[in-house]
Amino acid sequence: MTEQTTAPSSLTPRQRLQQTEFALSAPTFRLCPADTGLEVAFAGRSNAGKSSAINALTNQRQLARSSKTPGRTQMINFFSIGDNQTRLVDLPGYGYAAVPLEMKKEWQVELEEYLVSRQSLSGLVLLTDIRHPLKFFDEQMLHWAKDGQLPVHILLTKADKLKYGAAKNALLNTKKRLKKLNLNCSIQLFSALRKEGIDELAEVMGNWLQISTADKTALNEAENDEDQ
Q: Which domain holds residue 199?
A: 11-215
C-alpha to C-alpha distance for 202 and 82, rounded to whole angstroms? 14
CATH number for position 41:
3.40.50.300
Q: Is residue 2 domain-resident? A: no
**pLDDT one-digit tens code per residue, 133-175:** 999 989 999 998 998 889 999 999 999 999 999 999 999 999 9
Q: Provide the number of structural domains found in the chain.
A: 1
Q: Is residue 200 domain-resident? A: yes
**Which stretches of 93-147 are assigned E, i.e. beta strand?**
121-129
Confidence of residue 107 (pLDDT cuts 50, 70, 90): confident
Q: Is residue 46 domain-resident? A: yes
Residues 6+ apart with CB under 8 A from 210: none
Whether the CB-CB separation of 204 and 17 falls below 8 Å is answered with no
Neighbour-count burial of 158, counting CB atoms closer than 10 A to its CB (0-12 exposed, 13-18 middle, 19+ buried)? buried
Q: pTM, whole model, 2 decimals? A: 0.84
Q: Is residue 222 domain-resident? A: no
Strand pairing class (152-157; 186-189)? parallel
**pLDDT one-digit tens code per residue, 128-142:** 999 999 999 899 999
Asked which of 25-39, 66-80, 179-193, 201-215 is least confident by mean pLDDT, the reply is 66-80
Mean pLDDT of the region 218-224? 48
Local structure of 186: helix, strand or coil: strand
Q: Is residue 228 domain-resident? A: no
| Residue 11 confidence (pLDDT) | 81
Q: Is residue 226 domain-resident? A: no
Q: Is residue 224 domain-resident? A: no
Q: Is residue 225 domain-resident? A: no
| Residue 75 confidence (pLDDT) | 81
